[in-house]
Amino acid sequence: MVKVQNTDIYILVVDDTQTNREVMARILARRKYQNKLVANGEEALAAVAERLPDLILLDISMPGMDGFEVCERLKADERTRHIPVMFISAHDATEDKLRAFHVGGVDYITKPFKIEEVLARVETQVTLAIQRKSIIELSELKDQLLRTVSHDLKNPLHVIMGYSSLLMEGGYVTKPEDLTMMSRAIFNSAERMYTLVTNLLELSQIEDGAQLQMMPLSLTQLCADMMPEFELNAQAKHQTFTFQAPLDAVNVMGDTMRLGQVLSNLVSNAIKYTPENGHVFVTIQKNATDVQVCVQDNGLGIPPEAIPQLFDKFFRVNTTKHRSVEGTGLGLSIVKAIIEQHNGKIWVESELGVGSKFIFSLPIMAS
């Protein structure tokens, strides 16, 4: 999730006295909040329609529409009712304060006010607004997760239910090949579901900050140890596989199992998304302060518009060729989370129809 900063917060100030507006703008500028100043209720509603503020500081006595009415209108509208409104008024009567809360205000400051008090109260409302934003974001993410997971589990479940009910009824299996075909379809579907659930659990563990088993390790050695398995997988698709690394050990602080998972995901993607007879290269390059591992292929490549979302959960490139390859869209999110836990970086260079390079860099240990 993106961390919200004060500079992302937008506050609307509504006051008919120019000096008051200017004083308030200076106070808000101290905390680097974005702000807009307007002089009456009509302008306030127009400004809100143009851009939703995170907080409104609203004067009560204004010519035309007063602050109470502005607030009532905002609370009556589905799109604006969530915006917190703080009243700032010269009226000190309990009656006014009660009315301010009654129409939906969240706070009430009386003029003349103390700058520190205004800032403290604004900060409280901003913190609440940020928390509200995060909850909405999380809830949307949860809905998307549930939709995707249930969709991705439903298809294989249908296959399993369909074939197993045919098997139970008995009469449909007349040849041994039918039995083999049906059991294979059931197995493959169960395997797809298993992969999805395992990937999800792994990602949530990593995102929850599961402790890494950090130790000094030779990245060249780790890669070299995994190469025979990658070579076999590439050979099964008649692809050639090349591995190039410095002769000396390149040491990093890392979790062997997790970094192995990164390599395995990147190389298996390179093999999966490269047609038969293609080529997959893994190269390691040592620089002054970091080491870069590049997994390159001459396969399907990635369209430029897909690159910004490539490491997002469940994102899969939507071309017929990419879609024809089995996947969950979680591998690269796992890879990115692991690399970031190692204070590293990962990026991709790719051209559709030409091939891709996935490069990650890790800080090296001083020898």
Q: Take residue 217 and report the two structure tokens written for it.
A: 């390790």
Q: Report in angstroms how near the CB of residue 243 gets to ligand ADP at its nearest.
A: 16
Rounded to whole angstroms, how far apart are CA atoms 364 and 228?
25
DSSP annotation of 298: S
Least gap, CB of 313 to ligand ADP (angstroms): 8
Window of 49-57, 135-143, 207-215, 296-304 that interacts with ligand ADP by CB under 6 A:
296-304
- 284 makes contact with ligand ADP (CB under 6 A): no
Which tokens belong to 255? 């979790």
Asked if 250 touches ligand ADP (CB under 6 A), the answer is no
Q: Which of 12, 223, 330, 339 binds ligand ADP (CB under 6 A)?
A: 330
DSSP state of 63: S
Closer to ligand ADP by Cβ: residue 105 or 327 = 327
Residue 107 in contact with residue 123, Cβ under 8 Å? no
Instruction: Using the minimum distance from each CB to ligand ADP, give the nearer residue, 223 or 330.
Output: 330
Among 53, 84, 278, 299, binds ligand ADP (CB under 6 A): 299
Query: Residue 125 or residue 269: which is nearer to ligand ADP going by CB?
Result: 269
In whole angstroms, the minimum distance from the beta carbon of 334 to ligand ADP comes to 8
Segment near ligand ADP (CB under 6 A); pick from 174-182, 210-218, 248-256, 269-277: 269-277
Based on the shown chain and the rule CB under 6 A, indicate whether residue 317 belongs to the binding site for ligand ADP.
yes
Edge to edge, what strands does the sheet with 55-59 contain? 34-38, 10-14, 55-59, 85-89, 107-110
The per-type count for the chain, helices as H runs and strands as E runs, is 10, 12
Q: CB-wise, 206 or 332, nearer to ligand ADP? A: 332
In whole angstroms, how large is the CA radius of gyration of the chain? Answer: 29
Side chain identity at residue 202, one-letter code: E
Closest CA to 127 of 115, 119, 117: 119
Structure tokens at 100: 């301010």
| Residue 54 binds ligand ADP (CB under 6 A) | no
Selected from 273, 298, 336, 341, the binder of ligand ADP by CB under 6 A is: 273
Token duo for residue 348: 């991709």
Residue 335 C-beta: closest distance to ligand ADP, Å: 7
Does 332 participate in binding ligand ADP (rule CB under 6 A)? yes
| Cα distance between residue 312 and residue 14, in whole Å | 40
Q: Inter-axis angle of helices 67-76 and 94-102, to 10 degrees?
A: 20
Choosing from 89, 327, 338, 361, the residue that interacts with ligand ADP (CB under 6 A) is: 327
Q: What angle do CA 209, 134, 56 make, to 5 degrees?
A: 150
Residue 73 or 316 having the CB closest to ligand ADP: 316
Residue 105 burial (C-beta neighbours within 10 Å; 0-12, 13-18, 19+) = buried
Smallest distance from the beta carbon of 345 to ligand ADP, in angstroms? 17
Residue type, 82: H
Q: Does 296 bind ligand ADP (CB under 6 A)?
A: no
Compare residues 20 and 356 and give the one whose CB is closer to ligand ADP.
356
Q: Which amino acid is at 177?
A: E
Least separation in angstroms between CB 211 and ligand ADP: 24
Give the tokens for residue 242.
């090349």
The residues of the shown chain that bind ligand ADP, judged by CB under 6 A, are 265, 269-270, 273, 297, 299-302, 310, 315-317, 322, 327-332, 356
